[in-house]
Amino acid sequence: MAKRKMKYVCQECGYESAKWMGKCPGCNNWNTLVEEMEASPASSRHTMTRDAKTKHQPESITAVETQKEPRMTTSMEEFNRVLGGGIVPGSLALIGGDPGIGKSTLLLQISAQLADKHLPVLYISGEESVRQTKLRADRLGVTSDLLYVLSETNLLDIVNQIEQIKPSLVVIDSIQTIYREEISSAPGSVSQVRESTSELMRVAKSNGIPIFIVGHVTKEGAIAGPRMLEHMVDAVLYFEGERHHTYRIVRSVKNRFGSTHEMGIFEMKEEGLREVMNPSEIFLEERSQGAAGSTVVASMEGTRPILVEIQALISPTSFGNPRRMATGIDTNRVPLLMAVLEKRVGLMLQNQDAYIKVAGGVKLDEPAIDLAVAVSIASSFRNQPTKPEDIVIGEVGLTGEVRRVARFEQRVQEAAKLGFKRVICPEKNLEGWRPPESIEVLGVNTVQEALEEGLER
């Protein structure tokens, strides 16, 4: 029998080396290489050659027959939207989030909803016992007989139970606790996570059973384990939010069966998570009237428009270098917009500290919020409040021009639905379109024009 060799594997990126190194060449992290034993070699080469004739043969893509499989829908429309309309049979989805954020609660609620529709569900917990899962189920009011609970970490036993029960949905909580006996490394290592996910993917595709796996996150907020883990699965969902606040956000960053960057908003209650059907009202319900530095913008999250408040606080600096801090938007965008205001509008901001925040804990990353951020900064610097019934939309260029944005009609309709009276937007977005009668749409070409119209005198 051939001697099995040892190797060193980075626990952050999966880089493999024959010798130990203090710094990983793949991700440049220190002290992340851990000694592991290589897996036993596969069967002999002549066996692979013999079985090659029995494999599937290439087909012309025009000859392949397709059929649209019905999706399984839960009672949470927000969760269905994030997945692109429901759960696809045979799909493998990865859900990541901070500890205690509510991942297990969300998946147990979804499992119970499918079980109430007479669909058998297998919930496998590697971190909690069956009694602990039962306590959470009692708190959430789960009473279905078709929800099966299993506390197991051995992958072989898990696969046997899946093939025996043939459930409509499988939940693995979490993938870092699952191990394969033929791999000598500890559960949670790169080799264990990679091989366990690969086996679960095979089970999902061959049996047509959707599987949700929970993944731990690192201190930077990324899903722990090799980056290849996110490439293997069909969908990657991030569960975001502060543990000390009641609102949670499920964000889709990868989805082979739907739109990416979709977002679902939930509220954490004592009896579990409750979906928020109109998040714009939630984000604007505590807005201060007549306060300088506050502007409302219509942002697109996937296919849904959401109205959020952008707040700015500009104050004289006490240090040699003024501070530029931002929460909810890209920090590098703040000094860029302040430079445009200095050069094109004439605001002396070089000796001012700037603090920008998106109220409600939402993260915005589209260029359509540039004009709202610029108006908020100018409003706080001049101490002139914005008009409370205005919505500001637009991308700002380095020459001070306001550029058109995508899906403008949906943003305006959302603003009109919530009772706003005026929209300040790029002039180019008004071509070939008639706004609703209940709202006035004002087109501007430069940041200077937007400040003249948006700030109260």
Q: Decide if 22 contacts 202 (C-beta within 8 A).
A: no
| Residue 97 CB neighbour total at 10 angstroms | 25
Residues 6+ apart with CB under 8 A from 157: none
Strands of 291-398, DSSP E: 294-301, 304-316, 324-327, 352-358, 390-392, 395-396
Nearest CA-CA partner of 408 in 307, 309, 310, 299: 299
Which pLDDT score, from 0 to 100, does residue 431 have?
86
Q: Count CB neighbours of 222 within 10 A.
A: 14
Fold of domain 282-454: Ribosomal Protein S5; domain 2 (3.30.230)
Q: Give the per-residue pLDDT at 50.
A: 44
Please give the structure tokens belonging to residue 30: 């220190």
Q: Cα separation of 75 and 89, whole Å? A: 17
- 104 known ligand binder: yes
Per the annotation, does 360 bind a ligand?
no
Residue 223: strand, helix, or coil: strand
- For the chain, which residues make up each domain, given as ranges? 1-41, 72-277, 282-454
* Residue 99 in marked binding region: yes
Q: How far apart are CA 29 and CA 16, in angstroms?
A: 14
- Residue in 28, 36, 7 with CA at minimum distance from that of residue 193: 36
Annotated binding residue at 97?
Answer: yes
pLDDT of residue 47: 39
H runs (alpha helix) in 15-91: 45-51, 77-82
pTM of this structure: 0.76
Residue in 423, 429, 374 with CA at minimum distance from that of residue 397: 374
Known binding residue 100? Answer is yes
| Cβ–Cβ < 8 Å for 237, 252 | yes
Q: Could you tell me the fold of the domain covering 72-277? A: Rossmann fold (3.40.50)
Residue 96 assigned ligand-binding role: no
Give pLDDT, residue 27.
83
Query: What pLDDT sits at residue 386?
Result: 93
Structure tokens at 164: 């025996």
Is 102 assigned to a binding site? yes
Residue 323: C-alpha distances to residues 230, 304, 316 (Å): 36, 34, 10
Averages of pLDDT over runs of 10 residues in the chain (457 residues) are: 73 84 88 77 43 66 80 92 92 91 93 95 94 93 93 95 95 93 84 90 94 85 75 91 76 88 86 87 82 93 88 91 92 94 94 92 89 96 93 95 93 90 93 86 95 88
